[in-house]
Amino acid sequence: MNKITPPEKLTIKDYASDQEVRWCPGCGDYSIVRAMQKTLADLQSPPEKTVFISGIGCAARFPYYMATYGFHTIHGRAAAIATGTKLANPELDIWVISGDGDSLSIGGNHLMHVLRRNVDLQYILFNNEIYGLTKGQYSPTSKIGTRSPSTPMGSIDSPLSATLYALGCGAKFVARGIDTKPKHLPEVFKRAHAHKGASFVEIFQNCIVYNDGVYDSFTAKDVAAERQIEVEHNKPLIFGKEKEKGLRMNSDKIELEVVTIGENEATEKDILVHDETNKVLATLLAQMEGPNFPVAIGVLYCNPSNTYEDAVHAQIAAEKKAHPSTNINDLLRSGPTWTVD
Amino acid sequence: MNKITPPEKLTIKDYASDQEVRWCPGCGDYSIVRAMQKTLADLQSPPEKTVFISGIGCAARFPYYMATYGFHTIHGRAAAIATGTKLANPELDIWVISGDGDSLSIGGNHLMHVLRRNVDLQYILFNNEIYGLTKGQYSPTSKIGTRSPSTPMGSIDSPLSATLYALGCGAKFVARGIDTKPKHLPEVFKRAHAHKGASFVEIFQNCIVYNDGVYDSFTAKDVAAERQIEVEHNKPLIFGKEKEKGLRMNSDKIELEVVTIGENEATEKDILVHDETNKVLATLLAQMEGPNFPVAIGVLYCNPSNTYEDAVHAQIAAEKKAHPSTNINDLLRSGPTWTVD
Amino acid sequence: MEGSTTVAMEGAIREQVEDVVVRFAGDSGDGIQIAGGQFTLTTALAGNDLSTFPDFPAEIRAPQGTTFGVSAFQIHFGSREIRTAGDAPDVLVALNPAALKVNIADLSKGGLIIVDTGSFTERNFKKAGYNGNPIENGSVEGFRLITADITRNTLEAVQEFGLSQKEAVRCKNMYALGLVYWLYDRDRSPTTGWLNDKFGKRPEIANANIAAVNAGHAFGETIEASGETSSYQVMPATIEPGLYRTITGIEAISYGLVAGAQKADLRMTFAGYPITPASAILHSLSKLKQFDIITFQAEDEIAAVGAALGGSYAGTLGVTASSGPGIALKTETIGLAISVELPLIVINVQRAGPSTGMPTKTEQSDLHQAVFGRNADSPLVVISASTPADNFEVAIEAVRLTTKYMTPVMLLTDGYLANASEPWNIPDADKIPKFPVNFLNDTNEFSPTKRDPVTLARNWPIPGTPHLEHRIGGIEKSYDTGNISYDAANHQKMTDIRKNKIDGIANDIPEQKVTRGEDAGKIAVVGWGSTFGPITRAVQKIRLEGHKVSHIHIRHIWPLPKNLGSLLNGFKKVIVAEINTGQLITVLRSQYLIDAQGLNKISGQPFKVSEVEEAIRKSLEN
Amino acid sequence: MEGSTTVAMEGAIREQVEDVVVRFAGDSGDGIQIAGGQFTLTTALAGNDLSTFPDFPAEIRAPQGTTFGVSAFQIHFGSREIRTAGDAPDVLVALNPAALKVNIADLSKGGLIIVDTGSFTERNFKKAGYNGNPIENGSVEGFRLITADITRNTLEAVQEFGLSQKEAVRCKNMYALGLVYWLYDRDRSPTTGWLNDKFGKRPEIANANIAAVNAGHAFGETIEASGETSSYQVMPATIEPGLYRTITGIEAISYGLVAGAQKADLRMTFAGYPITPASAILHSLSKLKQFDIITFQAEDEIAAVGAALGGSYAGTLGVTASSGPGIALKTETIGLAISVELPLIVINVQRAGPSTGMPTKTEQSDLHQAVFGRNADSPLVVISASTPADNFEVAIEAVRLTTKYMTPVMLLTDGYLANASEPWNIPDADKIPKFPVNFLNDTNEFSPTKRDPVTLARNWPIPGTPHLEHRIGGIEKSYDTGNISYDAANHQKMTDIRKNKIDGIANDIPEQKVTRGEDAGKIAVVGWGSTFGPITRAVQKIRLEGHKVSHIHIRHIWPLPKNLGSLLNGFKKVIVAEINTGQLITVLRSQYLIDAQGLNKISGQPFKVSEVEEAIRKSLEN
Ligand SMILES: Cc1ncc(C[n+]2csc(CCOP(=O)(O)OP(=O)(O)O)c2C)c(N)n1
Ligand SMILES: Cc1ncc(C[n+]2csc(CCOP(=O)(O)OP(=O)(O)O)c2C)c(N)n1
Ligand code: SF4
Ligand code: SF4
Ligand SMILES: [Mg+2]
Ligand SMILES: [Mg+2]
């Protein structure tokens, strides 16, 4: 075996593989892969213990571009495969990479179960509200009226909210990011990584070819400050160019409302403080949509609980203690036997 | 064809098929089938237009016992098959019957999509927190610690809440019932039936063989009044033997609390009035669990919206208007042609 | 009973018989399987060879007394080699009218029926679909009969132990067992011991059950004394010396997997989704966690095979098990496993289909699915077990091949084999050769698709290994680098490699042996899987008549043993007996262009020996 | 170019050639498919016979200039019958260095290369993996060359129309097209008309493109005048009279389904889940809603086939389409359809595997999956299309069989057939026989499993019909009543019925015809699906040399035509040519015990005529 001395500190470049990137020029995926490489460098994640597992789709090509372990599996099943990998070796640091079709169309059930079971991995969903790889059909997150090759008259089914779905599945960590926020996104990734258990991150990602500008209403530079709210635990839920707006709870209607501080008797005291352990608040934040509400990004919910693989291995350890013999001959001879001679 | 004059009014018996019922004696499914037969009789549903479509499981045997059309399909796929049936013939009145394994384990994804799309059918989930038909393995709704043939040391994964899941999937109608409430259950069924769109009903059902008494903590006669709350639209959320308890919103913590009217300054005015169109309230109600909270039953959420099959057929109608010819020869000759002679 | 002589015994004269088939039958709540299990153990201890067949009702707990709620357990035992659970019962124990109704047609001519008259009520006749009492209306004509009010007698016998009525009635099965113990002169002490063990914490129940066994036995002695009926004796069989146990197919397969993983030096990731009759493997492995086995009940079959493959990816032995419809769902992922060349064992406990079919009934109809049932050119290894105990060896073979060749292995067993049990000469596990896996950690000229020049298996670098970071996936990959490749010539090369790798395994499996008979001759009866018993017995019987008929039983279905073609060519006729409409025969005909004829049965039941015999006779005549 | 003579033409001397293969290639953003499409239409209008093959890159939009972003379109046209897209291009249009790099190896000896020197920059050489300019460093040696700065010339030609730079550059493909129009003396007016139509709302774009076509053409005339190169002429082919159009496989299959549904008097429920290359059927039917077609993009393949089956249950024609991995997911539900005996058409647009494989490349490797790929004994009908237009007829046949026999039908087509196009003598739809479905509404002795005594098809009572309320499901059902049945004899009977029903369809399909050649002879080359073109051309060529070689092309894969066995027995040798490792051959060998030999290729590419020829020659020699 060659003796390779690892460099003192791994840089962003050390996390990039030698494979030519095959996304369309201008695709939002480029910035996400960069954000991920930055994240790993910031975390100094050991490449040999880091595994990217993906399904199928443009997003799912992601593992090829990382100089870590990677498994490009089949459509919709990455969560299930990753569960097996994590159970088999809890030491591995697993990131699942998936698209909105991969995760929420064919793979919705596996996503639900990996979240419910709370397997310790990071599940990153690139939501471009479209099927990129198969050339632009509408997806379960596409807005009503989306014209696509399979819906030439416009789509008619209500889109699923990835984040609300994750909360409904019992996820213990739910966050959101945007492809074009190179500073915010790595921070979200790091929070997801720090959370022990299944961490769900939805990234609003622009597909320049089949769904260009689908998030412009809140990501375009000129409107971003008014249309986004970066939530942070224990910090007031304020936004706007001058941080002049905030969210207030209307407890009669049990719904949020946007207020401008100083207007209509709204004071800073009225502004809700984000509590990332409150699931109902997370639901309220996740529900917010333009044009009347800002879109919430950051960690909407984080409420750690026991992880699945820990419990699995605890049972194995207990059984090993209770039944120390692993001699096959003992096993075969358990129960009634008799001798013929 | 025989001329059969239908009786003036169909009775409960007219909805029962001639097939021998093959559930275990004492199974909760018996009362559900009776409640359904009563519902159909109350509604005078035309048997020829009524279709029961089920997956596989004890619950899924249901269609055999109804004197209507029935399709006992395969495990987890009833929602998908029913979607095709409804699209093909929107005149049919479709009930999907399923178990917790069928719906939330293998079939979770189809359930999500039928709810999201809002296909007009009633989806009835018999939740016995166990796999009955395959002899008692734990299910996605089983409580942590459930000992079963596949979890001899107790199950370790957090159960899914069927109701919260349905809400996360974007369901427009979410209700709950209990097998042993022969008066309440048909009313829930009727509300589900009246709702145009996908109606989701979770029934707490006792499996006497593999999970007996799993709901006793709130269904046992002696505790029911204290541990259940029957919610009704526009009515205050009160419960208790003397209707002396109620639910109050704590808007600082954004959570519900149980109060006793007259105690600790709690007045009737503090008690929340149920608004079945409020999704966050539905989420709060669905989250309630014993011992500190009563379990909410009845219609938690009902907020109708366009149905999928209506939109599908509206597009077809529009295209028929726009392109009235259905002559195949015209179709074949569309686009550039040339003559060889 | 094939041969019988009368011998003088101490005290009584017992008719000696060579082999007997007894079927216990009753309501599913009657404890039939327990009685059967105890009788099996006792019979094994008495030195008989034996084979058993439990037949569960499809319903969990059908309403009492109905025909579809009848549970049965059949045991065939004898002083000769026993290979099947028997064509027709010589003795039928019917604990209620429904049990009589369902089973009487199978009884051998002049067979003995033991009925519990206590359950012969008008209500039960009706439930069973009888018009009146079958004992009185001629329904049992031509059979011998022992009638006993087993219910009442049992209640009397256990009265003193103060059980509840329900508990007391539950001892009925032990009374019936005692009666059959008397009939075949069996030692009651193993059952007594077992009862004391099982109900250690509730001795009153143990004692009541023991009292019931004794009462049943005493009842037999009484009627014998009265000359009504006589009892029998079945001498010990000549059995290879060794330490024995009874083993079911499920136990054998589970133990085989555990042993195989240990031989491969691997931990195991077993992921399953419940389905009859495969769930039992999940249950059984769930209780063996101390062997470093992760058992995972997945959300569906796709997730199960996915998690197993994910487990293999991480460097454990990934295993999944299901039955036909579940296997269908796994095929896409199996294709991925073929493409990425990772170990994966897929166990199919076959059941009657198509679709949901008859889940509790057996069939061998998934061979086509195993060999051909995937999109694209996607060869894998298919092996099969032929007796309950054989599952042990086959499971180990599956582990050997999957790890040595980095290929999925499909292991075919079936509902009959899974539930049936047989006495098993317990092997010495230490003598089973090891085949430890070496994960790659050589970084020299590393490529994930580098191959062993002989086996053509790619090497196995696992996540966690420094400096071997790489990517795998289901897209076609370069032969050289493992990177994605759409190159035409490369796809040809990779397709060829995948095929050649599997074809080459023919060099690493035993040559096909002839189970019974000569290496050439008039007729070869070819079988695979659970038809082993009836075929081998039928061939034995025909051979005793002097015919040159051989039995060839195939374990390795794909690739087939190297010598199989020439072996089959040595026979004038080849009969392929299968519990399907003709599946192995498709493979044999296409591979060897042999005009094999099928013997097929698809009724959810195993072959009877007589059916196979008859087919051979017919073929001999032509 | 197989034959060429020189003829005097008005003004110029044009070399006359019998057939030519032209390949347009460039970056995926270069509009190659559009240029190809236009050239095809014009060529068809000129009276040539033709065949085309588009070859898309796997990536959506790979970085410009890379080899994996190259898109190509090949057309083979001639004055004789054309059956394939051609073995090797005679002319290669390379709009950038990467296109040259990827395609040059395929070019025929001495072929003509047209390059856009405007794209031949250092940066692009590097991206294409060239070390320097290939035109200068000997890479194009042995070929003829037309170099033109197409980019600059185009920009100049369109300058006056005031387009943006991006829009102007996009006209490059039209310039190249104009040049090739000159090369083969083509009429430009169809393209002019098409451009005016397409860009009706932006006439400046239409005009710019027209100007580019004209400029390209003019460039050709200039270099011809200078004597540098000469142009060619391909005379019209002798083609059966009729009204023609070009049709792709996708169009043909969609129209066939629509026509079939109309002939059956049924509405259609088409449910699909996107997958390359099958998605195009969903797209195409989505635009035909006026024909009472419900199109449903399901959440996955399982839901898609489920919804299709649900649609059939309700009394519409349920259809689903996918490719290998998606079909794998559908198999459990197909089993249900077999069990409940409802119509269901499953279209498999095959692609290269295993697993994700090479989604944009073609293969015929899902035949095993279609015929054998389900659990249990679960026969269904398998049919296949052999040319793009043939999909039309085959789709109608699928509708006929699925409704008449109440059975799923698997229709095999492939990526090549789906995307390729050919001229089509448009049939008169009114002459296609009707086969209207009659839903049961007779309540007399009703049972859902009542059968037609001849076809063995069960009747079709649909929900909504008064007094026919009944239950169906995947559990085995009684032959008589349709209720659940676990009876052994009944399962045998039902299994037999399912098999006999499908086997019996052999009486209702055309006998196997010989496509070319005698009904008996030395060699039969047997094919199915998209190998039709190369096989038939190869056989034609060999026959011209006087050999008794026949071509037999099979449409009905299961059941096989009744006479096929005896037909094949009439040949000394049988070669089965397939784009897989040998799948139809398995079926033929096992059915007929014929020692057929396989001709196999698995590179994601169709056969070349020469490859088939060579195989036949080799076989003739032995
Ligand atoms: C079983 C299966 N079904 C379908 C496909 C085709 N397919 C590939 S990717 C994809 C959807 C991609 O959408 P998404 O997950 O949103 O990823 P994106 O390309 O937008 O990043 C589909 C339908 C497949 N590869 N396998
Ligand atoms: C594809 C497939 N997988 C597994 C099974 C086995 N199976 C039948 S029912 C069932 C679960 C039943 O649980 P649930 O849906 O909760 O219904 P219940 O029996 O409790 O009413 C399973 C796993 C099957 N029939 N098909
Ligand atoms: S198709 Fe869309 S998502 Fe896919 S690579 Fe291109 S821009 Fe990105
Ligand atoms: S197993 Fe449970 S759910 Fe199933 S029929 Fe019996 S009691 Fe009911
Ligand atoms: Mg997407
Ligand atoms: Mg259940």
Which ligand lies nearest the alpha carbon of A105?
Answer: 1
Question: Taking a C-beta distance cutoff of 8 angstroms, is the pair C398, C345 a contact?
Answer: yes
Which band of pLDDT confidence, cut at 50, 70 and 90, is reported for residue B5?
Answer: low
Name the closest-CA residue to atom 1, ligand 4.
B132
Question: Taking a C-beta distance cutoff of 8 angstroms, is the pair C41, C24 a contact?
Answer: no
What local confidence, expressed as pLDDT, does residue B261 receive?
93
Q: D445 burial class (0-12, 13-18, 19+ CB within 10 angstroms)? A: exposed
Alpha helices in C53-135 (DSSP H): 97-103, 122-128
What local confidence, expressed as pLDDT, does residue C351 receive?
97
Residue A194 Cα, gap to closest chain C Cα (Å): 20
Q: Using CA atoms, how far apart are residues D89 and A255, in angstroms rounded to an integer?
A: 67
Q: Using CA atoms, how far apart are residues D344 and D317, in angstroms rounded to an integer?
A: 7
Q: Tens digit of pLDDT for each residue in D442-468?
A: 988 899 999 999 999 999 999 999 999
Query: Distances from the Cα of C14 to the Cαs of C61, C112, C229, C288, in angstroms?
Result: 40, 16, 11, 45
Q: Tens digit of pLDDT for each residue in D318-330?
A: 999 999 999 999 9
Whether residue B38 has pLDDT greater than 60: yes
Looking at the partner chain, which of C289, C333, C462 has a beta carbon nearest the beta carbon of A319? C289
Q: How many CA atoms lie within 13 Å of B254's alpha carbon, on the beta-carbon side?
A: 23
Question: Taking a C-beta distance cutoff of 8 angstroms, is the pair D114, D94 a contact?
Answer: yes
What local confidence, expressed as pLDDT, does residue A5 receive?
58
Q: Using CA atoms, how far apart are residues C554 and C576, in angstroms rounded to an integer?
A: 11
Overall average pLDDT of the C57-75 stretch: 87
For the beta carbon of residue A314, count every other beta carbon within 10 angstroms.
13
Which band of pLDDT confidence, cut at 50, 70 and 90, is reported for residue A3?
Answer: low
The one-character DSSP state at B106 is I
| Average pLDDT value over all residues in chain D | 94
Q: Using CA atoms, how far apart are residues B104 and A270, in angstroms rounded to an integer?
A: 40
Question: Taking a C-beta distance cutoff of 8 angstroms, is the pair C17, C232 a contact?
Answer: yes
Q: Which chain C residues contact residue D331 at CB under 8 A?
A: 328-329, 331, 373
| Average pLDDT value over all residues in chain A | 96
3 state DSSP class of C87: coil
The letter for the amino acid at D524 is A
- The residues, any chain, with a CB within 8 Å of residue D363's CB and separated by 6 or more, are C376, D350, D351, D352, D353, D357, D414, D415, D579, D580, D602, D604
Helices D301-313 and B78-88 pack at an angle, to 10 degrees, of 50
Looking at the partner chain, which of D59, D68, D286 has a beta carbon nearest the beta carbon of A151? D286
Which band of pLDDT confidence, cut at 50, 70 and 90, is reported for residue C7?
Answer: very low
Maximum mean pLDDT: which of C261-270, D220-229, D415-424: C261-270
What local confidence, expressed as pLDDT, does residue C14 receive?
72
CB B137 near ligand 2, within 6 Å: no
Q: Which chain C residues contact residue D340 at CB under 8 A?
A: 355
Q: How many CA atoms lie within 13 Å of C39's alpha carbon, on the beta-carbon side?
A: 36
Tokens of B14: 């007219």
Torsion of the alpha carbons at C189, C191, C192 and C198, rounded to the nearest 10: 150
Tokens 């009515």 — which residue?
B235
Q: Which residue has the higher pLDDT, A7 or D413?
A: D413
Tokens 């994960």 — which residue?
C439
What local confidence, expressed as pLDDT, does residue D7 receive?
41
Q: Tens digit of pLDDT for each residue in A29-64?
A: 999 999 999 999 999 999 999 999 999 999 999 999
Q: Using CA atoms, how far apart are residues C393 and C555, in angstroms rounded to an integer?
A: 11
Whether residue B88 has pLDDT greater than 60: yes
Mutate which of A29, A134, A142 for ligand 3 pocket (most atoms within 8 A of beta carbon): A29
**Ligand 2 atom at minimal distance to the Cα of residue B59:** 21
Listed range (C43-47, C62-66, C570-574) with the worst mean pLDDT: C62-66
Question: Taking a C-beta distance cutoff of 8 angstroms, is the pair A284, B280 a contact?
Answer: yes
Q: Which chain C residues contact residue B98 at CB under 8 A?
A: none
Query: Distances from the Cα of C280 to the Cαs of A312, B208, D376, in angstroms?
Result: 20, 22, 21
What local confidence, expressed as pLDDT, does residue B2 receive?
46
Overall average pLDDT of the A235-259 stretch: 94
Closest CA to C587 of C384, C448, C324: C384
Q: Using CA atoms, how far apart are residues D414 and A169, in angstroms rounded to an integer?
A: 39
Q: Using CA atoms, how far apart are residues B174 and B167, in angstroms rounded to an integer?
A: 7
For the beta carbon of residue C224, count every other beta carbon within 10 angstroms.
18
Q: Using CA atoms, how far apart are residues D602 and D600, in angstroms rounded to an integer?
A: 7
Q: Tens digit of pLDDT for each residue in D229-242?
A: 788 999 999 999 99
Q: Using CA atoms, how far apart are residues C345 and C331, in angstroms rounded to an integer?
A: 13
* D interface with A, Cβ–Cβ below 8 Å: 59-64, 66, 68, 272-276, 279, 282-283, 286-287, 289, 295, 297, 299-301, 325, 355-356
Looking at the partner chain, which of D355, D591, D601 has a beta carbon nearest the beta carbon of C338? D355
The letter for the amino acid at D336 is L
Tally of residues, chain B: 341
Q: Which residue has the higher pLDDT, D448 or D226?
A: D448
Closest CA to D357 of D277, D294, D252, D451: D277
What local confidence, expressed as pLDDT, does residue B6 receive?
56
C-alpha radius of gyration, chain A, whole number: 23
Q: Using CA atoms, how far apart are residues D497 and D451, in angstroms rounded to an integer?
A: 10
3 state DSSP class of D172: helix
What local confidence, expressed as pLDDT, does residue B113 receive?
98
Q: What is the pTM of this model?
A: 0.96
Q: Using CA atoms, how far apart are residues B97 and A160, in angstroms rounded to an integer?
A: 23
Closest CA to C366 of D368, D377, D496, D371: D377
Exposure b/e, D294-313, CB count within 10 A at least 16 = b: bbbbbbbbbbbbbbbbbbbb
Minimum CA–CA partner of B137 in chain C: C274
Q: Using CA atoms, how far apart are residues B231 and B239, in angstroms rounded to an integer?
A: 9
The one-character DSSP state at D13 is E
Could you tell me the maximum CA-CA distance found in chain C, to the nearest angstrom? 88
Whether residue D6 has pLDDT greater than 60: no
Whether residue C230 has pLDDT greater than 90: no
Overall average pLDDT of the C359-366 stretch: 95
Q: Is residue A291 reached through a cis peptide bond, with omega within 30 degrees of 0 on the bond before it?
A: yes
Closest CA to B158 of C268, A117, D580, A234: A117
| Average pLDDT value over all residues in chain C | 94
Q: Using CA atoms, how far apart are residues B71 and B58, in angstroms rounded to an integer?
A: 14
Question: Taking a C-beta distance cutoff of 8 angstroms, is the pair D459, D448 a contact?
Answer: yes
Q: Tens digit of pLDDT for each residue in D187-219?
A: 999 999 999 999 999 999 999 999 999 999 999
Q: Using CA atoms, how far apart are residues A174 and A192, in angstroms rounded to an integer?
A: 8
Residue B283 in contact with partner chain A when CB distance is under 8 A = yes
Q: Which chain D residues contact residue C498 at CB under 8 A?
A: 354
CB A21 near ligand 3, within 6 Å: no
**CA triple C333-C339-C341, angle to 5 deg:** 100
Listed range (C366-380, D47-61, D210-224, D490-504) with the worst mean pLDDT: D47-61
Q: Tens digit of pLDDT for each residue in A115-158?
A: 999 999 999 999 999 999 999 999 999 999 999 999 999 999 99
Q: Using CA atoms, how far apart are residues C351 and C356, in angstroms rounded to an integer?
A: 9
Q: pLDDT above 70 covers what percent of chain C?
A: 98
The DSSP bridge partners found for residue C27 are C70
Q: Which chain B residues contact residue D302 at CB under 8 A?
A: 77, 80, 110
CB B139 near ligand 2, within 6 Å: yes
What local confidence, expressed as pLDDT, does residue D115 receive?
96
3 state DSSP class of D384: strand
What local confidence, expressed as pLDDT, does residue D517 receive?
97
Whether residue C139 has pLDDT greater than 60: yes
Q: Tens digit of pLDDT for each residue in D458-499?
A: 999 999 999 999 999 999 999 999 999 999 999 999 999 999
CB contact (8 A) between residue D373 and residue C371: no
Torsion of the alpha carbons at D536, D537, D543 and D549, rounded to the nearest 10: -30
Strands of C400-545, DSSP E:
408-414, 421-425, 471-473, 521-528
Name the closest-CA residue to atom 5, ligand 4.
B23
Listed range (C341-345, C389-393, D7-11) with the worst mean pLDDT: D7-11
Which band of pLDDT confidence, cut at 50, 70 and 90, is reported for residue D426?
Answer: very high
Q: Which strands make up the sheet holding D91-94, listed edge to edge?
A: D49-55, D70-78, D19-27, D91-94, D112-116, D144-148
Which band of pLDDT confidence, cut at 50, 70 and 90, is reported for residue C5?
Answer: very low
Tokens 């998606």 — which residue?
D326
Q: Tens digit of pLDDT for each residue in C234-282?
A: 999 999 999 999 999 999 999 999 999 999 999 999 999 999 999 999 9
Q: Which chain A residues contact residue D59 at CB under 8 A?
A: 22-24
Q: Using CA atoms, how far apart are residues C543 and C551, in angstroms rounded to an integer?
A: 10
3 state DSSP class of D423: strand
Which band of pLDDT confidence, cut at 50, 70 and 90, is reported for residue C543?
Answer: very high
**Ligand 2 atom at minimal distance to the Cα of residue B127:** 16
Q: Tens digit of pLDDT for each residue in D272-326?
A: 999 999 999 999 999 999 999 999 999 999 999 999 999 999 999 999 999 999 9
Q: Tens digit of pLDDT for each residue in D349-365?
A: 999 999 999 999 999 99
Which band of pLDDT confidence, cut at 50, 70 and 90, is reported for residue C137?
Answer: confident
- Best D53, D330, D339, D374 member to test C by mutation, with max C CBs in 10 Å, is D374
Torsion of the alpha carbons at C29, C33, C37 and C40, rounded to the nearest 10: 130
Which band of pLDDT confidence, cut at 50, 70 and 90, is reported for residue B8?
Answer: confident
The DSSP bridge partners found for residue C74 are C23, C53
Per-window interface: A 65-124 vs C, CB < 8 A: 67-74, 77, 80-89, 91-92, 109-110, 112-113
- The residues, any chain, with a CB within 8 Å of residue C107's CB and separated by 6 or more, are C88, C89, C90, C92, C113, C143
Overall average pLDDT of the A79-92 stretch: 98
What local confidence, expressed as pLDDT, does residue D1 receive?
44
Reported as type and span, the H/E element at residue A203 is strand A199-204
Overall average pLDDT of the D383-405 stretch: 98
Determine phi and psi for D125, rounding to 5 degrees.
-60, -45
CB contact (8 A) between residue B24 and residue C61: yes
What local confidence, expressed as pLDDT, does residue D170 receive?
95
| Average pLDDT value over all residues in chain B | 96
Question: Taking a C-beta distance cutoff of 8 angstroms, is the pair A281, A163 a contact?
Answer: no
Q: Which residue has the higher pLDDT, D141 or B45?
A: B45
Question: Taking a C-beta distance cutoff of 8 angstroms, is the pair D44, B335 a contact?
Answer: no
Whether residue C451 has pLDDT greater than 90: yes
Which band of pLDDT confidence, cut at 50, 70 and 90, is reported for residue C454?
Answer: very high
Whether residue B76 has pLDDT greater than 70: yes
